[in-house]
Amino acid sequence: MVKIKYKKQRKSDIDLIVETAKKLRIRNENNSISLRGAGAGDIDLLLYSRLDIDPDEEDYILRSVLFSAVASNELSDDFSAEDLLNIVRKKYWEKKTDKSNRYTVLTGMYLKGELPISRLKLHDCLIQRLKPLKSRTQARMIDSHNEAVRTIHFRHFPRIDDDYCVTAGSSEKQLFKIFVSAKNAEIAYRRALGAFGELRGLLSYLMNRNKHSRMSTGSYRQSLNDVRPIQFSTVHQKSGELAEQGLWYYPEWSKPGNVQDLDSRPVVKKNLDRGISVLKGSNFPSAHARRALRMYCDSTDNLDLRKAFLELWTTLEFITTLGKQVPHEKVVRRASSIYKDKAHALLYLNHYRDIRNGMVHGYADYDERFAERVLFQLNRDVCAFLDYFVFNQTGSSSATEFEEFFDAPFDNELIKMRLQVYERVLRFRRDP
């Protein structure tokens, strides 16, 4: 039997797994965590809390197997300690080699799709990035990747499995290369991870937007018959009633083997090429766009929903103000300018601002369910503006032009009056 080394006490692997299973089951019964939402951080907490474990590679592989079992839904909500033990025996002890090849075991599990890291189809790129690093650094990097994958798949995005995932072909690879240019391999890896995860969301968002026409209100909300709903509600703009809202995900994509190549769609391909040129460039708004994508993926990777909401609002502030200090009225006004129903957008964006103030100053106590709902709603608007900023930019050559564009009045009559004034100025001040 394999023994795990501890600084203060010793326990066998089986005892540790049984104890972990009991803790997971107890937490699930108390509705504080579900197995489907359990990730690397949750299992870390359950495995290592109250136990001072020496974090060597063997411990990491054991924890990775536990995470893989939870993330791949091999354990039901009413699992027993024996179920978990059987999975660990099957995936770990039968494949365990000598001590010098422990990382080979982990890499083999990764390549065969037995770790959730494989769901993002980054095998070749990641292995090349990981090869020159030391094993402990590799473990930390894969740990970070698992944490982000858990967040992307189970919290902030609909689940996308390998057999019916949405891919972007060459465009996806180009964007990946943009974020691996840093000298520090680990920073480059995390940067690429965040870019790739958010790219999937943005690509799916673009695909949905071009696949279905907008409603008369100008929002990106789609028909409930076409959308696979997920567990949150939003206010219907016309009726004012709560309705289930689907985000980026359509049922026809979920058929096995139905992989969508976004490069083959001309409208989306055009937007992707424009976005790639923006992210690759050195002029405005390239640096702002790259930073906005990183801020966005960092905010959605946060496991605390309240903190994620605050960071997501900070991301919206950065995109709309380009990092400048401006009154919050300008933030909500600029964010609402991409919708036809601007009055309604102003109303609920100001409501989000009030929620943000309540969380920051502590005068309002929001439960987890409410925080998750408003997080999804704010995420919709941040994605819309981020998509507009990166893929459908107005062609502004400077930050000043960008701000002037969104600070223009909403009323067409006021815009026409301004044009008339400018025409008179041009006639009066024309060159001799």
Domain extent listing, the chain: 3-156, 203-393
Among candidate residues 353, 333, 351, the one with its CA nearest the CA of residue 343: 333
Mean pLDDT of 66-81: 57
**Structure confidence at residue 306 (pLDDT):** 85
**Whether the predicted pLDDT of 194 surpasses 60:** no
Going by pLDDT thresholds of 50, 70 and 90, the confidence category of residue 300 is low
Over residues 74-105, the pLDDT tens digits come to 656 555 555 655 665 565 544 444 333 444 44
Residue count of the chain, please give it. Answer: 432
**Structure confidence at residue 318 (pLDDT):** 92
**Structure confidence at residue 386 (pLDDT):** 79
- Percent of the chain past pLDDT 70, that is, above it, reads 32
Mean pLDDT of 414-426: 85
The CA-atom distances, in angstroms, between 52 and each of 6, 19, 135, 221 are: 6, 15, 21, 49
The CA-atom distances, in angstroms, between 57 and each of 3, 41, 85, 113 are: 13, 17, 19, 20
**Structure confidence at residue 316 (pLDDT):** 93
Q: Are 145 and 117 in contact (CB under 8 A)?
A: yes
* DSSP state string for 243-282: EE---S--GGGGSTT--EEGGGSHHHHHHHHHHHHHHH-S
Mean pLDDT of 228-257: 34
Higher pLDDT, 12 or 339: 339
What's the chain's Rg over C-alpha atoms?
Answer: 24
Among candidate residues 405, 411, 352, 356, the one with its CA nearest the CA of residue 381: 352
* DSSP state string for 52-95: -B---HHHHHHHHHHHHHHHTT-S-TT--HHHHHHHHIIIIITT
**Structure confidence at residue 331 (pLDDT):** 92
Going by pLDDT thresholds of 50, 70 and 90, the confidence category of residue 204 is very low
- Minimum mean pLDDT range among 57-61, 76-80, 149-153: 149-153
**Whether the predicted pLDDT of 400 surpasses 60:** yes
**Whether the predicted pLDDT of 110 surpasses 80:** no
The residue type found at 11 is K
Going by pLDDT thresholds of 50, 70 and 90, the confidence category of residue 246 is very low
**Structure confidence at residue 362 (pLDDT):** 80
Among candidate residues 16, 39, 11, the one with its CA nearest the CA of residue 27: 39
Entry pTM: 0.45
Alpha carbons 86 and 210: distance in angstroms, whole number: 47
Average pLDDT, the chain: 56
Higher pLDDT, 69 or 227: 69
**Structure confidence at residue 242 (pLDDT):** 37
Q: Tokens 């972007």 correspond to what residue?
A: 168
Mean pLDDT of 301-312: 80
**Structure confidence at residue 41 (pLDDT):** 47
**Whether the predicted pLDDT of 30 surpasses 60:** no
The token pair that represents 268 in the structure block: 């989306």
Over residues 350-397, the pLDDT tens digits come to 888 988 988 888 877 777 778 877 887 787 788 778 777 876 665 677
